[in-house]
Chain A
Amino acid sequence: MKSHRWILMFFLVFMGSLLILPCAFADEKEIKIGVLYPLSGAAAAIGRDLQRAAELTADIINNGAPGVDIPMAQWKGIPNLGGAKIKLIFADHRGEPDRGADLAKRLILDDKVVGLMGAYHSSVTKTVSAVAERYGIPMINDSSTSPALTQRGFKWFWRATPHDEMFNKDLFELLKGLTEGKVKGVKAVPKKELQNLAYACENTEFGSSVAKSIENYAKEYGFNIVTKLLYSANAPDLTSEAKALVAAKPDAMLFTSYLSDALLMIRTLKGMKAQTKFFWGQDAGFEMADFAKTLGTDIDGVLTRTVFIAKVTKVKKVAGQINAIYKKKYGDDLTGATARSVVGVQTWAYALNQAKSTDPKAIQKACNELNIPAQELVMPWAGVKFDETGQNILGRGLIGQYQKKSDGKIDLEIVYPFELATANFIYPFPGWK
């Protein structure tokens, strides 16, 4: 027997290790919300930013922030719940859907969270929201833009951000605006000069669903698509894709790219001295800070859809105040992704306050009836109000344009919606010399 100890030991150690459980201390004065973000793995950088923004917002709610002109900043806890503090419990899903689902179960059953928030990747949001739906736990999604998410008839899922289809509509509104002379600083462009579009979208869910919706809108708005490209973002180079785009000589080039392929695509197009009149990117890569940092003045005139641009702070007081706190603490401006994280936590706080209880049913009711007025948001939205599918109908996108300033620096200016425009639109796209 003695000689076989090792095998027994092994099994005992294994079993023992599984039984050491993380203990959860319940505190009545705390409301726990589980937040799933990609804190490690390929999307770690963005995940960490989202985490910071969420923590900051929770801090504003719990401890107040003098100088921020919204009621929330004076709450110091959730007023209707006896000043209870919000506690965010972060979990790292690494961008893997199955890991996200497992962690959601951990948050719901072990940590006993009141609700969930996250998960950035649309694919992870799918599995996480399915878990939440099963357990009847509310989930507020802050930054996943796949249109399919709110088309599933879930009762426990709400999305604060606009989705990709709404963004694509914005694009075509802008194109239409150009032909009608609504755009600041540009005379009406004859429609036949902008008739031919070409798109290149990466071929995962994000890009392929955008591609489909671009096609639909093109038909609706009477534009012509001359080149359709779906490419793999994970390619050793994009020369052949860029060649195909250039060869078609389109009036407008539309892209859906993550950061890596956006960088590569622009470098490649620049190498070919590609010419077009209108150059638009659907968020993700085009919006990230690294995009402008890496490409510098090469992106003069490039358009990107987003939901938040640092320039919003000039138009909106609240945005400026919260952005100032964020910048003081972390040194960066809020971006489209991080600002949505702020709104996500804020929506949670308002929903809890309105529910007056942490009972899931009460929160469900509160979410369905929720109406956050526009002036209390950092976003240039008309507010937060969910329709019966759980989609925020008052959200809207922005289109920004990178513009080279006289000091040689690149700045992102708002060009759409027209009434928020902060600079003259540069048309046509200057291109590369």
Chain B
Amino acid sequence: MLIIDALLQGILMGLLFALVALGLTIIFGVMDIVNFAHGEFLMLGMYTVYWTSLFLNIDPLLALPASAIMGILLGLASYYCFIRYLLRGPAIAQLFGTFGLMLFLQYFAMFLFKTDYRMVEKGLLVGKSLSVGPFIFDWTKIAAGLLSLISFIVVFYFINMTKTGKALQATALNKEAASYMGIKTDRMNALAWAIGGGTVGVAGGLLVNFYYAYPMVGILFVMIAFACVALGGFGSIKGVFFAGLLIGILEMVFPVFGQLVGSDFLGPHFKVTIIYLAYFIIVVVRPQGLFGWRQ
């Protein structure tokens, strides 16, 4: 019973993790960059929803479009003002460039919002829960899981079914060939950043319903997102979905497992550690991740 309960909770969290990681994997697929600042996009998405719902006095869920727009704009701004110049360098310079961006956004947020923890106080779903038999779920988490799933499907549809989406995929597979076909790769890169920023902005907006916003909140989620992306195979959208679910479930089931075994050492304090460990073990066995199609 405990395990089933943890499983269901894990799926809800996993869907959200997958949405956080989605943008990261798209950006990676199109231009081979690991974006350290992704977690800060999430953090700014959280703040956007927090402030919008507070000032306009609307439900935090209705403020989601604001965080999506903020994410898209932020993605485009980072691409055109910074990432474009970064692309000339080797992978390691890119990594540290985005790391610099991460630090900058973190402390910019701290400068603007100070270090207070902010939590959405009012809202349609905030603090309410649904009881189904022996199980009890927060409505905010159910909403987050379902809306993540919907956003995921929308993006998936966009990439696989529309012309622009296919052009994006072509760019990801082979940049040169794509540019011979008349695809403007610069635009595609910008599009990837827009989608990446938008999805993670939405994820932030969903997260703030039950998690606190804080200038440093991004690093934890970006580490989990890294593990999701790498586990699923860099650039694989299908991969990131299943990896997200897997990680969400693992994070929930592990403490229950420790409890059943009755070990103090395997307590919940290792539940994030186990994600990293699982990543390491899985990737060593399968170096291209679960769904990776290339090295």
Residues on A lying within 8 angstroms of B by beta carbon are 42-45, 203, 228-232, 234-237, 239-241, 243-244, 247, 259-260, 263-264, 267-268, 270-273, 290, 294-296, 298
Contacts and interface: CB of A to CB of B under 8 A. Distances in A.
B255 A244 contact: yes
B65 interface: no
A392 to B, nearest CB: 29
Given A45-B116, A240-B252, 12 more contacts: A42-B216, A44-B110, A45-B114, A228-B264, A236-B17, A236-B224, A271-B128, A272-B129, A272-B136, A290-B116, A295-B119, A296-B121
A260 B217 CA distance: 10
Most B-side CB within 10 Å, residue of A230, A237, A243:
A237
Contacts of B2: 243, 247
Contact of B268 (A44, A229, A273, A298): A229
Contact of A263 (B117, B220, B271): B117
B119 A267 contact: yes
Chain A at the B interface: mostly helix, strand, loop or mixed? Answer: helix
A237 B224 CA distance: 12
B210 interface: yes
Interface stretch (B5-13, B29-37, B55-63, B93-101): B5-13
Contact of B272 (A232, A247, A270): A232
29 contacts: A42-B216, A45-B116, A229-B268, A230-B269, A231-B269, A235-B220, A235-B268, A235-B271, A236-B221, A236-B251, A236-B272, A237-B210, A239-B252, A240-B252, A240-B255, A241-B255, A243-B256, A244-B255, A244-B259, A247-B2, A260-B117, A271-B137, A272-B129, A273-B136, A290-B116, A294-B119, A294-B121, A295-B119, A296-B121
Which 6 pairs, one residue from A and one from B, show the smallest C-beta to C-beta distance?
A240-B255, A271-B138, A45-B115, A203-B269, A271-B129, A232-B269
Interface string B188-225: 00000000000000000000001110101000110010
A239 B118 CA distance: 19
A241 to B, nearest CB: 5
Interface in B1-43: 2, 5-6, 9, 13, 17
A253 B116 CA distance: 26
A256 to B, nearest CB: 13
Contact of B127 (A230, A240, A244, A298): A298
Contacts of A272: 129, 136
A316 to B, nearest CB: 29
A236 B117 CA distance: 15
B165 interface: no
Contacts of A296: 121
Contacts of A260: 117, 212, 214
Contacts of A267: 119, 127, 210
A79 B273 CA distance: 57
Nearest to B209: A267
Interface string B246-272: 000001100110010000100111111
Nearest to A203: B269
Nearest to A432: B127
A320 B136 CA distance: 46
B114 A44 contact: yes
B92 to A, nearest CB: 22
Contacts of B259: 244
Contacts of A243: 2, 5-6, 256
A290 B118 CA distance: 9
Contacts of B251: 236
* Interface of B (DSSP majority class): mixed
Given A232-B269, A236-B224, A260-B214, A43 B115 contact: yes
Given A263-B212, A271-B127, A234 B220 contact: yes
Given A236-B221, A240-B252, A290-B117, A264 B271 contact: no
A239 B9 contact: yes
B269 A263 contact: no
A203, A267, A294 — most chain B CB neighbours (10 Å): A267
A283 to B, nearest CB: 16
A44 B115 contact: yes
Nearest to B110: A44
A276 B40 CA distance: 38
Interface string B279-290: 000000000000
Contacts of A232: 268-272
Contact of A240 (B6, B137, B221): B6
A403 B221 CA distance: 35
A382 B220 CA distance: 44
A203 B110 CA distance: 26
Nearest to A244: B259
Contact of B212 (A44, A230, A264): A264
A25 B137 CA distance: 63
Nearest to B224: A236
A42 B268 contact: no
A21 B224 CA distance: 44
Contacts of A263: 117, 119, 212
A363 B238 CA distance: 69
Contacts of B118: 294
Contacts of B114: 44-45
B117 A241 contact: no
A237 B2 CA distance: 17
A241 B127 CA distance: 18
Nearest to B139: A271
B20 to A, nearest CB: 10
B30 to A, nearest CB: 27
A418 B288 CA distance: 64
Contacts of A241: 255, 268
B229 to A, nearest CB: 16
Interface string B217-244: 0001100100000000000000000000
B133 to A, nearest CB: 14
Nearest to B140: A271
A67 to B, nearest CB: 32
A231 B264 CA distance: 11
Nearest to A247: B2
A259 B268 CA distance: 19
Nearest to A201: B269
Contacts of B272: 232, 234-236
A49 B219 CA distance: 26
A240 B268 contact: yes
B117 to A, nearest CB: 5
A71 to B, nearest CB: 37
Interface in B116-157: 116-119, 121, 127-129, 136-138
